């Protein structure tokens, strides 16, 4: 038996961050990870990406709290342009708020695009006040310092909202809960540029651009400026930095060790029994699993019936398959200058096409014309080229976790064929270059990482699962009812995305609980 101040279950991004934050505050921490490697969905065996492949929202707040200082991350990042590929030519290059044709010609909707993205960024800056802190509400009495802080923060949010000006504030409140499709097509005609925005609005979610709440997720995407960057050295470098921070904070990291069950005494979690029967005691247990998995470890009878019902009904339907191809040579994309081959390549010909691709997913079928985000990381960072040939990393929408008939070999082949057919619309020679392929369906992602439904946010970022009701009412403050047990995974506020804020907030919440 060993004894720590805190145990963190799961060595993904949030688990590592939670452990490092606790360690930095002087707590002895034991982090246990079921698999043999750290990183969860961001982890990789080789230098090239396996699941997550880019950074969207990794912010300085987390870096500060895990002790990596005010400067920069210990790995270099390269901001990548995005290219909205258009079958038949006319690819659009996007750098932040600037859009133009890939061949350098000005794009007719560039001005509209800039205005829209600037607006989204302003909204994002506003919402970040809510995203970075724990969600509002909770049990604290009004006179309590924590509650006062919360009131001030909410007050600040209200003030910032008013400072937008009356007209802009009204627009913000009007569009916030609406759908991305209407917001985008109010500003520009449908096409690859609109398609790129629509695809980003639904990335990772079981939503289509016409689903309510997708404006919120689009803002979330642009929350930190909307830049997309490639970590040099791959996700492995990111995870090494987080693990390094945890180790520097004296966190004991044990991979290949799974939590079998939670040990409780009275109404409090007091430790973990591992799959090998070893007992680790701690005053706090933080679990980056889904809430239901955490509850099952403690025993469902330790939770109220309403609570288990809410945990059960958290919507975490994965819709994304990850496809990793190894090519015999770099592909040639019609009409794309060579210097853009390393960009984030989007295959979402229009907002309408994204919605159409979503339709079958509603009924448990995969998209025939999938929406793709493709990346050739080796073009930018040679270390990520891959063994034997260029690695092509693809995020494919929609591949629902509850596929009718299940994710059989035939189903995976069918998805691969659909993806290759989609790629062939802009790179006809690409299917012939495939030397090796791997299709990670949501079920596989779940099996490898424990993410419920293979969903990369562990719970859909929909309006009823946000802020103080994320992942569900009564679970919004990282606590679960059973004292000493906390949720620190992507299912909690503010969600996943290789961001670490959920883990950081959970650690801070756990620190408020006594010595």
Report the interface residues with another protein, using CB under 8 A: 267, 296, 300-309, 312, 474, 481
Residues 6+ apart with CB under 8 A from 382: none
Partner residues linked to 231 by β-bridges: 77
The DSSP output letter for 29 is E
Nearest approach in angstroms of CB 359 to another protein is: 31
Residue 278 CA, chain-centre distance (Å), reads 32
Between 85 and 270, CB nearer to another protein:
270
Question: Min. distance of Cβ 186 from another protein in angstroms?
Answer: 40
Shortest Cβ 302–another protein spacing (Å): 5
Among residues 26, 16, 31, 30, the alpha carbon closest in space to that of 62 is found at 16
Give the tokens for residue 458. Answer: 């562990």
Name residues whose C-beta falls within 8 Å of residue 69's C-beta, 6 or more positions apart in sequence.
63
Phi/psi of residue 29, each to 5°?
-125, 140
Give the nearer residue to another protein in terms of CB position, either 102 or 479.
479
Nearer to another protein, 78 or 300 (CB): 300
What's the min distance (Å) between Cβ of 305 and another protein? 5
Q: Which is nearer to another protein, 141 or 167 (CB)?
A: 141
Residue of 2, 1, 6, 4 lying closest to 284 (CA atoms):
6
- Complex with another protein: residue 269 or 430, whichever CB lies closer: 269
> Which of 368, 351, 354 is CA-nearest to residue 421?
368
Structure tokens at 353: 């096409």
Find the shortest distance in angstroms from Cβ 220 to another protein: 30
The residue among 345, 349, 371, 347 whose CA lies nearest residue 358 is 371
Closest distance between another protein and the C-beta of residue 262, in Å? 13
CB of 475 to another protein, least distance (A): 12
How many Å apart are CA 423 and CA 73, to the nearest integer? 34
CB of 473 to another protein, least distance (A): 10
- Nearer residue to another protein within complex by CB, 300 or 435: 300
- Cα–Cα distance for residue pair 433/388, rounded to 1 Å: 12
Choose between 46 and 474: whose C-beta lies nearer to another protein: 474
H or E element: which one contains 458?
Answer: none
Q: Pick the closer one to another protein by CB: 328 or 473.
A: 473
Element (H, E) at 254: strand 252-255
Task: Between 308 and 425, name the residue whose CB sits nearer to another protein.
Answer: 308
- Cβ 98 to another protein shortest distance, Å: 52
b/e per residue, 428-457, with b = 16+ CB within 10 A?
eebbebbeebebbbbbbbbebbbbbbbbbb
Which residue's CB is nearer to another protein, number 312 or number 417?
A: 312
Please state the φ and ψ torsions of residue 234, each to the nearest 5 degrees: 80, 180
Conformational region of residue 60, where left means phi above 0, alpha means psi within -120 to 50, and beta covers everything else = alpha
Q: Which is nearer to another protein, 458 or 483 (CB)?
A: 483
Tokens at 174, concatenated = 């009007």
Q: How far is the CB of 512 from another protein (least distance, A)?
A: 18
CB of 310 to another protein, least distance (A): 10
Concatenate the DSSP letters of all residues of 302-332 into one string: GS-HHHHHHHHH------EEEEEEEESS---
Assess contact for 320 and 441: CB atoms under 8 A.
no
């Amino acid at each position: 038996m060993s004894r720590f101040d805190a145990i963190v279950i799961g060595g993904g991004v949030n688990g590592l961050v939670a452990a490092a934050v606790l360690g930095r505050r002087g707590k002895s921490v034991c982090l246990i990870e079921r698999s043999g490697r750290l990183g969860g969905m961001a982890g990789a065996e080789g230098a090239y990406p396996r699941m997550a492949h880019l950074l969207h929202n990794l912010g300085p707040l987390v870096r500060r709290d895990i002790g990596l200082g005010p400067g920069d991350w210990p790995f270099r990042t390269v901001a990548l342009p995005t290219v909205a590929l258009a079958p038949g030519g006319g690819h659009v290059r996007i750098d932040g708020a600037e859009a133009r044709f890939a061949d350098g010609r000005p794009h007719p909707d560039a001005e509209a695009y800039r205005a829209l993205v600037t607006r989204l960024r302003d909204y994002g800056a506003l919402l970040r006040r809510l995203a970075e802190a724990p969600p509002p509400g909770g049990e604290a009495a009004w006179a309590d310092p924590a509650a006062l802080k919360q009131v001030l923060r909410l007050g600040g949010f209200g003030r910032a909202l008013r400072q937008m000006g009356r007209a802009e504030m009204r627009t913000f409140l009007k569009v916030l809960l609406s759908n991305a499709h209407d917001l985008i097509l109010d500003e520009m005609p449908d096409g690859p540029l609109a398609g790129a925005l629509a695809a980003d609005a639904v990335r990772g979610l079981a939503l289509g651009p016409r689903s309510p709440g997708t404006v919120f997720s689009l803002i979330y995407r642009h929350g930190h400026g909307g830049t997309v960057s490639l970590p040099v050295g791959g996700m492995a470098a990111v995870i090494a930095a987080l693990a390094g921070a945890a180790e520097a904070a004296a966190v004991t990291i044990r991979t290949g060790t799974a939590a079998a069950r939670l040990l409780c005494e009275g109404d409090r979690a007091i430790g973990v029994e591992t799959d090998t029967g070893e007992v680790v005691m701690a005053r706090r247990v933080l679990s980056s699993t889904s809430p239901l998995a955490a509850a099952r470890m403690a025993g469902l009878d330790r939770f109220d019936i309403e609570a288990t019902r809410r945990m059960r009904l958290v919507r975490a339907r994965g819709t994304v398959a990850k496809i990793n191809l190894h090519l015999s040579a770099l592909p040639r994309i019609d009409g794309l200058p060579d210097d853009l081959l390393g960009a984030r390549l989007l295959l979402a010909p229009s907002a309408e096409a994204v919605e159409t691709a979503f339709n079958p997913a509603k009924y448990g079928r995969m998209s025939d014309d999938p929406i793709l985000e493709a990346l050739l990381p080796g073009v930018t960072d040679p270390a990520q080229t891959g063994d034997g040939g260029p690695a092509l990393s693809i995020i494919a929408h929609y591949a629902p976790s509850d596929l009718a008939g299940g994710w059989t070999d035939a189903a995976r082949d069918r998805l691969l064929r659909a993806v290759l057919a989609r790629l062939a619309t802009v790179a006809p020679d690409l299917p012939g270059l495939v030397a090796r392929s791997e299709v990670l369906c949501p079920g596989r992602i779940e099996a490898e990482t424990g993410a419920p439904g293979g969903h990369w946010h562990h719970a859909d970022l929909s309006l009823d699962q946000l802020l103080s009701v994320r992942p569900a009412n009564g679970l919004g403050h990282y606590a679960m009812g059973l004292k000493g047990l906390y949720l620190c995974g992507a299912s909690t506020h503010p969600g996943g995305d290789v961001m670490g804020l959920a883990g950081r907030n959970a650690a801070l919440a756990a620190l408020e609980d006594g010595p």
